[in-house]
Structures are given as structure tokens and as C-alpha cells.
């Protein structure tokens, strides 16, 4: 099989699968999004897929071009498309307009299974979704990390984090906590906020610069990892952090939601309802105090995370979905 791709995921070019030849062109890198989209669209007549990871505006414009010029056989594929619940009348109007464009996107490859929110708010047909498990970020650093227990709780990341519920849950608990996260402006962009004035003295906030090695080390030295996620959430918030934590042999407490639904069983992580500080407090107390209880989650979570391997496995999985799609569209022999 020959697979002809235009993509901003340059490592797709290096995927090796028996019986597959990949013809690859890098997605244009012009500063203007209009020039990028038009250039890629014109070139795409010779290709099977345009595969874009994350850039919302680019794939949105390409979808509009597909609508206006419908005779292009090249299929649009989105990878890890991040959508949020529309907020207010303006947000609902925007989502309705976007929904028209999303009809031109052939496939959405996502790292989570519960895509019902995308269907509910953006009318994306369930048949367009393909699930691919995510991978361990910076696998090379994770396997070399020095793992220890310095007796603190790690809370990290930025997307849809519910720091208010965490702070309320920690009231009455004197366990040390390190919140490792971005500055306020980046948190706001990711649907999170952190009220430093409400933080008790046992919680330390560390504004992180994005260095993956130091981020991993904060996890590696913790006793357990807590990831509170907001209830009003339809995307895969928290997946990359909980996989890193599991790969570093840490017990993970995380809110129910799309990032875990149908993916994590209740013996891999401690799953709690979102925005319930009382239940989160109980889960934290038991996991922090009971080493044997923590160990079962450390072991099961570790086995699951390590089975997902590194980015090479991820790229093979993505290409596999593209190959499946072509085979389904071929006429029967």
C-alpha cells in the first residue's frame, strides 16, 4: 500500500510498517494561516490525507475550502482536536458555525474514547472518531528518572484543572502539596484558574517554565499524584500527566471525565467524581496514609502506562488508522 500524506507531524514520514510506502510532504510553515491552508489545499489534490495535529484555525480554513471546492478527493484528518463546552450565546453561535465546517473533516483521531461532548455541542458524527491511546511524554527521561518518596502530593498541569476543589479538599489535611503549573495567563487560556490568596500554608505553588525533565522530577519525588479536573469538560484533560505519573510508578487520583472514561479501570487509578472536595479529601487521606493501598495502583498504573510506549508507537497507531480507512473505502475484490 502507498499512503500519500501532507502533515505537520513530521515523524509520520518515518513510520515503518511492512507492506507500506509513505509519500510525505510537510505541511507549509508560512506565517500566514491563510497562505498555509491555501498552499496545502492546492497541493493536496495529489495526496490521500492532510493530517494536522492541533492547529484549530488551519483545519477550520481547510474545511471551508473543502466545502467551497468539493472536488478534492484528499481527506482532512484532525489529530488531538481540543474543543470546550460553548459558553454563552456567543459561544453557542460560534459552535454552530464550526459544526458546519467540521462536517468536511473526514476523521478525528483522539486520545480519549468519550467523545459525546463533541457530538453534543459540535454535531460531529460519532462514526468520525477514531481512538488511539496516547504515549508517555519524553519516555527517554521517564525511564532514567530517580524515583523516591519525599512525602508530598504532586498536583500539575494546566488544562481544565480544578484547583479550587483541591484547595477545599486539603482543608484539615496537613499533607504537603506542590502545585506545579503555568502562570495565570496560560492557565486562563487553558480553562483553569488558581486563587493564590485562598491557598493554605501546606500548599506550595511552583510556576513551571515547561522544562520536561524538572517536571518529571517533581512527579518522581512525590508520594502520590492528584489531578482534579473540572466537571464541565469534554476533552482529554490530564492524560499526558497521568501517564507520566503512572510510568514513574506513582499512585494517581484523578476526576472522572473524558480523559479516563473507558480507558482507566478502577484498579489503575483512584477515580473520584469531579467537584466533590469531600470525596477527594477521603481519597487523598487513604492513599497518603496507606502504603499497601497505594502500591496496587502504582503497579497496575505502571504496567498500563509502559504498555503505551513512546511516540514511535503512537505514530504507528495513527498511520494504522489511516490505512484502515483506505481499506474500508476500497471496492471489494
Give, rounded to a whole angstrom, the gap between the first and last alpha carbons of the chain.
15
DSSP type of residue 161: B
Which one, of 1, 4, 12, lies nearest residue 315 by Cα? 12
Residue 328 has pLDDT above 90, yes or no: no
Give me the mean pLDDT over the 243-271 stretch. Answer: 97
What is the topology classification, in CATH, of domain 139-308?
A: Rossmann fold (3.40.50)
| 9-24 confidence digits (pLDDT tens) | 999 999 999 999 999 9
Residue 283 has pLDDT above 70, yes or no: yes
**Cα angle for residues 303, 304, 305 (degrees, 5° grid):** 95
> Which pLDDT does position 333 carry in this prediction?
57
- State whether CATH 1.10.1270.20 applies to domain 2-134+311-329: no
What is the rounded distance in angstroms from the CA atom of residue 308 to the CA atom of residue 136?
7
DSSP assignment string, 99-136? HHHHTT--EEEES-S--HHHHHHH---GGGEEE-----
Give me the mean pLDDT over the 125-153 stretch. Answer: 95
Is-contact 182 207, C-beta < 8 A? yes
Residue 279 has pLDDT above 60, yes or no: yes
The percentage of the chain sitting over the pLDDT mark of 70, rounded to a whole number, equals 99
> Which pLDDT does position 331 carry in this prediction?
65
Tell me the domain boundaries of the chain. Answer: 2-134+311-329, 139-308
Same CATH topology for 2-134+311-329 and 139-308: the answer is yes
CB-based contacts of 54: which residues, under 8 Å, 6+ apart?
Answer: 79, 80, 81, 82
H helices of the chain, in order, are 33-43, 56-68, 88-102, 116-122, 139-142, 163-169, 184-189, 212-220, 239-247, 277-289, 291-308, 311-329
| 25-67 confidence digits (pLDDT tens) | 999 999 999 999 999 999 999 999 999 998 789 999 999 999 9
Q: Using CB atoms within 10 Å of the CB of residue 189, give its burial: 0 to 12 exposed, 13 to 18 middle, 19+ buried.
A: exposed
Is-contact 168 242, C-beta < 8 A? no
pTM (two decimals): 0.94
Other Cβ atoms within 10 Å of 211 Cβ, number:
9
Which one, of 212, 240, 191, lies nearest residue 91 by Cα? 191
Average pLDDT, whole number, for the chain?
A: 94
Q: How confident is the model at residue 210 (pLDDT cuts 50, 70, 90)?
A: confident
Residue 312 has pLDDT above 90, yes or no: yes
Range scoring the smallest mean pLDDT among 205-214, 219-228, 310-319: 205-214
What is the rounded distance in angstroms from the CA atom of residue 252 to the CA atom of residue 271?
8
Give me the mean pLDDT over the 276-289 stretch. Answer: 97
Which one, of 240, 243, 241, 275, lies nearest residue 257 by Cα? 275
> Which pLDDT does position 332 carry in this prediction?
60
Amino acid at each position: 500500500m502507498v499512503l500519500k500524506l501532507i502533515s505537520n507531524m513530521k515523524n509520520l514520514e518515518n513510520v515503518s510498517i511492512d507492506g507500506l510506502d509513505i509519500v510525505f510532504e510537510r505541511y507549509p510553515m508560512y506565517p500566514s494561516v491563510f497562505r498555509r491552508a491555501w498552499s496545502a489545499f492546492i497541493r493536496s489534490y495529489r495526496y490521500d490525507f492532510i493530517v494536522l495535529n492541533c492547529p484549530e484555525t488551519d483545519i477550520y480554513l481547510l474545511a471551508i475550502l473543502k466545502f467551497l471546492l468539493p472536488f478534492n478527493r484528499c481527506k482532512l484528518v484532525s489529530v488531538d482536536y481540543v474543543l470546550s463546552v460553548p459558553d454563552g450565546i456567543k459561544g453557542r453561535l460560534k459552535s454552530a458555525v464550526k459544526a458546519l465546517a467540521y462536517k468536511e473533516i473526514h476523521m478525528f483521531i483522539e486520545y480519549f474514547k468519550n467523545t459525546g461532548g463533541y457530538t453534543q455541542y459540535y454535531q460531529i458524527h460519532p462514526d468520525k472518531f477514531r481512538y488511539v491511546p496516547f504515549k508517555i511524554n519524553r519516555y527517554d527521561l521517564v525511564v532514567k528518572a530517580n524515583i523516591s518518596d519525599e512525602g508530598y502530593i504532586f498536583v500539575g498541569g494546566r488544562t481544565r484543572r480544578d484547583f479550587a476543589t483541591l484547595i477545599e479538599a486539603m482543608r484539615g489535611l496537613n499533607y504537603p502539596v506542590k502545585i506545579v503549573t503555568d502562570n495565570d495567563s496560560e492557565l486562563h487560556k487553558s480553562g483553569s484558574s488558581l486563587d493564590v490568596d485562598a491557598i493554605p500554608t501546606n500548599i506550595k505553588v511552583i510556576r513551571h517554565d515547561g522544562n520536561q525533565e524538572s517536571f518529571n522530577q517533581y512527579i518522581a519525588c512525590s508520594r502520590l499524584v492528584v489531578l482534579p479536573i473540572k466537571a464541565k469538560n469534554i476533552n482529554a484533560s490530564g492524560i499526558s500527566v497521568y501517564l507520566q505519573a503512572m510510568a514513574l510508578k506513582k499512585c494517581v487520583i484523578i476526576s472522572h471525565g473524558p480523559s479516563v472514561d473507558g480507558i482507566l479501570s478502577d484498579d489503575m487509578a483512584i477515580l473520584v467524581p469531579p467537584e466533590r472536595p469531600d470525596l477527594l479529601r477521603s481519597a487523598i487521606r487513604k492513599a497518603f496514609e496507606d502504603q499497601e493501598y497505594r502500591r496496587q495502583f502504582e503497579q497496575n498504573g505502571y504496567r498500563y502506562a509502559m504498555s503505551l510506549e513512546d511516540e514511535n508507537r503512537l505514530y504507528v497507531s495513527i498511520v494504522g488508522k489511516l490505512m484502515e480507512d483506505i481499506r474500508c473505502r476500497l471496492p471489494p475484490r
